[in-house]
Amino acid sequence: MPPTERDYYAVLGVPRNASQDDIKKAYRRLARQYHPDLHTGSKKADMEKKFKELNQANEVLGEPDTRKKYDRYGHRWQEAESYERARQEAGADRGGSDRGQGFGGSQGFGGSQTQDFGDFFEGIFGGRSRRGGSPFEGFVVQGEDVETTAQLTLREVLSGVSRRIQLSQRVPCPTCGGTGLVKKSPCPTCGGSGTQTETRTIDVKIPAGVQDGTRVRVPAKGGPGQNGGKPGDLYLLVSIEPDPVFQRQGADLLANLPVYPWEAVMGADVLAPTLTDPVRVKVPPGSRAGGKLRLKGKGMPTAAGGRGDLFFILHIVLPPTISEEERKLYDELARFPHPDPRADLLRTANRV
C-alpha cells in the first residue's frame, strides 16, 4: 500500500505535539465517522479512501516508536531507517580512502551489492546519495523537536516573562561538513566523528496567564535539519512553582485571610496581600469563618485579555496571648445565652 501523501497529523487532525492519548481519541472519533459501512452511494468510495488513510496514519502515529521516526524522516521513514542501517554497516566496512566516493563507489558495500543499493537510494531520494560521505548526505532530514522545562513563579505568570534557554546539540562539523574527513585524513576539528557540540542561547517569551503544564512552542528553534530539511521546534514545558500564599484556580486566586472574632463581628478595614501590592479590604460586619471576600480583577490574566478574581477565605483566629482584662471580657461574653454550636453536629451524628 503506497503511503498517503497527506501529513499524518493532518489526517488525524491533531497538532504535532499531541499526546498519544489525543491521537488515540482522534483516531477513534474519525474511524466512527469514516467507517465505510456507515455510508452508501457515491460517498462510500470516498469514505473508504479516507478510512484507509486514517488507518495508515494511526498505525504510524499510534506507536511512539514509529511516530518518532515519522517525525524525523516524514513519510519515508521506513526507507530512511534502512538507509541509516545500511550506512552504519557500510561505515564499519569501508576504509578511509574510498569514503569520498559515497555510495555510488565500486567498493563501498563490498562487491556487487553496492550498485544496487545506490540505485535503490537514487530512486527514493532523487540521486542525491552520490555526493560525499556525510552521515546525513542523501536525503532531507527534518530537525528533531527539543523539549525543555521552564520553572515560573505565579508573579512571573502574572506579568509574562522572558526566559533564556541554553541548548546543547550535536550538529554536523563545519570543517568537514559532517564527513569526518579532510583531505582523506580524520578531520582535526571533530576528530573524525563528523559532529560537534554546539550551544545555542534562545530567548523565549512566555505569555502572561500561562497554565501549569503548558507547552510553549518556539517554531524552528529545535534541532537543525539536514540537506535542506526544516529545523525542529523547541517546546518549553511550563512548570509553575506552588505559591506560599496564593492558590490558583483557573484564572482566580484563593488566599486565606485571618481575622479576629471582633473584626468578623463588627466588620473591619484590613490590609490584605495581592500578587502585587497589598490592598485595603473591607470585612463586612457579621462575617463568618469560611466566608469569602472577592476582589474583582485581582486574579490571573485570562486568554480573553481580562483578569480573574482574588478570593479571600476568612479564618477566625485568636490573639497569641490575652491579658487578664481580656479574659474577663470573654468570661462576660460566655454568660450570655447562645445556642449550642455543636447541636447540629450531635443531631447529625445520632441520625446515622
Helical segments of 62-163, H only:
64-73, 77-93, 113-125, 154-159
Binding mask 179-218 for Zn ion (x = CB under 5 A): --------x-xx----------------------------
Could you tell me the three cell numbers for 166? Answer: 541554553
Between 66 and 189, name the residue whose CB sits nearer to Zn ion.
Answer: 189
Q: Among residues 109, 111, 143, 144, which one has the least CA distance to residue 129?
A: 109
- Give the range of 41-49, 175-183, 324-332, 338-346 binding Zn ion by CB under 5 A: 175-183
Stretch that binds Zn ion, among 48-56, 60-68, 173-181, 314-322 (CB under 5 A): 173-181
How far, rounded to the nearest angstrom, does the alpha carbon of residue 142 sit from its chain's CA centroid?
19
The nearest distance, CB 193 to Zn ion, in angstroms, is: 7
- HSE-up of 162 (CA within 13 Å, CB side)? 4
Helix, strand, coil: what percent of the chain each, to 5? 35, 25, 40
Indicate the residue among 160 and 186 with the shorter CB distance to Zn ion. Answer: 186
Shortest spacing between CB 190 and Zn ion, in angstroms: 3
Report the nearest approach of Zn ion to the CB of residue 234 (Å): 26
Report how far residue 178's alpha carbon sits from residue 187's, in angstroms, rounded to the nearest whole number: 9
Among 176, 206, 257, 310, binds Zn ion (CB under 5 A): 176
Backbone dihedral region for residue 322 (phi beyond 0: left; psi -120 to 50: alpha; all else: beta): beta
Q: Which of 175, 214, 247, 302 touches Zn ion by CB under 5 A?
A: 175
**Total residues binding Zn ion (CB under 5 A):** 6
CB of 102 to Zn ion, least distance (A): 17
With respect to Zn ion, which residue has the nearer C-beta, 178 or 223? 178
The most distant pair of C-alpha atoms in the chain lies apart, rounded to whole Å, by: 108
List interacting residues with Zn ion (CB under 5 A): 173, 175-176, 187, 189-190
